[in-house]
Amino acid sequence: MSVEPFHPASNTFWANKRVIVTGGAGFLGSFVTEKLQQRGAAEIIVPRIEQYNLVQPADIERLYNDSLSTHPDKKLETIVIHLAALAGGIGANRARPADFFYINLMMGVQLMHQAWVKGIEKFVAIGTICAYPKFTPLPFREENLWDGYPEETNAPYGLAKKMLLVQAQAYREQYGFNAIYLLPVNLYGPRDNFNLETSHVIPALIHKCIAAQERGDDQITLWGDGTPTREFLYVEDAAEGILLAAERYNQSEPVNLGSAQEISIKNLAELIARLTGFEGNLVWDPNKPNGQPRRALDVHRAEQYFGFRAQMPFEEGLRRTIEWYRQNQSRK
């Protein structure tokens, strides 16, 4: 099934906006910056780690000083969209829990604090579905965020990102600072990270199926037992949701971004095998962790508050992702 190409919103909201996009050179960030260009943003600033280490408060202050000094002749309002994160799949989270906690916490807390200090007009904080409790009633509703501890393998990451919600609400209450908090579900799409050491489940499955095809293997081994479920959001849909929220949403409640479609990892693996043409066996390793048992979001707030609804059909999104990987990724 094919879909029409995405089109930018027809408005002038961004014409007088300076937008700082942390992580703007990354997977999701590259689509956000492209959409900002399409929408006519006055200035887009993408900090690079070679210039600004966003874990260091001094570098964050320097980033803001440098950014706010551009175009002094123009009266530009500044919006920060904080996408930068140390993220990865279950294996990466288990191997580096301290890094996942410290780096994500320090980046987010200091970026938001200094944005308030510098008088920046709006801060868009991107959280994570990993912030939800391990056993959350389905579909996940934003009011359930505090009903339990996150799934253990990604709790350090989830809690570090969750603190941005606490900070955003506290700074809004005390200072009137316009910070919003969005909770995107698992993303997928072209330009994703396909490194098996750090990737999430969809790019890992695509990598494994295509690599097995090329080697002539008759089976691939997958983590867990295949019973957990996940919801996935196409990266371009996610970028659109973030920008709609930046344009239209100015309240304290967290908001889910998702597709409202749940699929088991077993069914996902079988679907990707079919779409890649891998005809071998899928062997499950139950000694490896499953992660959170189920994930599926209630997405009514996003549509109600800023008119976002996911557009990309899942199988078509997977086809586009697989095609991009075959064309762009060098594999050993």
How far does CA 183 lie from the centroid of its chain?
Answer: 8
CA dihedral of 116, 162, 253, 258, whole degrees rounded to 10:
120
φ, ψ of residue 287 to 5 degrees: the values are -75, -15
SS3 332: coil
Residue 7 is encoded by which pair of tokens?
């089109």
HEC readout, 159-191: HHHHHHHHHHHHHHHHHCCCEEEEEECEEECCC
Give Cα separations from 301 to 173, 182, 236, 265 (angstroms): 21, 11, 19, 26
**Which residues is 21 bridged to in the sheet?**
81
- Cα diameter, the chain: 64
Cis check: omega of the bond before 139, within 30 degrees of 0:
yes
Q: Which of 157, 188, 234, 249 is an active site residue?
A: 157
Tally helices (H) and strands (E) across the chain: 10, 11
> Is 132 a residue of the active site?
no
Instruction: Check: CB of residue 1 under 8 Å from CB of residue 316.
Output: yes
Say which residues have a Cβ less than 8 Å from residue 312's Cβ, sequence separation at least 6.
3, 234, 236, 237, 259
State the Cα–Cα distance between residues 264 and 229, nearest whole angstrom. Answer: 4
- β-strand pairing of 43-45 with 186-188: unpaired
CA atoms within 13 A on the CB side of 287: 1
The helix or strand, by DSSP H or E, that contains position 314, with its residue range, turns out to be helix 314-328
Q: Which residues are catalytic?
A: 157
